[in-house]
Amino acid sequence: MDFRDTQCTWCGLRKQPLEDCRGCPKYEKYVLKKDIVLNSEAFCSICIHENDPELAVYCSRNRYYQQDGDEPFDCYRFCPLFGRGR
């Protein structure tokens, strides 16, 4: 089973070839089996919206509300800097 079916609900790359996901923290965790913490720093640092002034409030609130949660960080606006979706 492809980890993206359950772990990548919002990502536009989830239906693309798996190799397009190289560089994503979830790829590193689930495919390469690296001990990666799936937190906002891991995702926001590679998201095209990281410095988008129109999403500044959304992104800061999303990070704030998820920072102490028990579940891995998730964001429906996440769009990685790499892959075909650019």
What pLDDT, in 10s, does the model give residues 12-36? 888 899 999 998 999 999 999 999 9
Query: What global pTM score does this model have?
Result: 0.82
Tokens 């979706």 correspond to 85
Please state the length of the chain.
Answer: 86
84 lies in some domain: no
58 lies in some domain: yes
76 lies in some domain: no
pLDDT at 85 (0 to 100): 45
41 lies in some domain: yes
CA angle 31, 9, 63 (to 5 degrees): 95
Q: Name the token pair of 76.
A: 């429906």
Q: For residue 9, what pLDDT band results from cuts at 50, 70 and 90?
A: confident
74 lies in some domain: no
Q: CA–CA separation, 3 vs 9, rounded Å?
A: 10
80 lies in some domain: no
pLDDT in tens, 29-84: 999 999 999 999 999 999 999 999 999 999 999 999 998 888 889 999 998 888 64
11 lies in some domain: yes
Q: CA–CA separation, 25 vs 52, rounded Å?
A: 21
Count up the domains in the chain and report the number.
1
Q: CA–CA separation, 39 vs 15, rounded Å?
A: 23
85 lies in some domain: no
Domain residues for the domain of 55 are 4-66
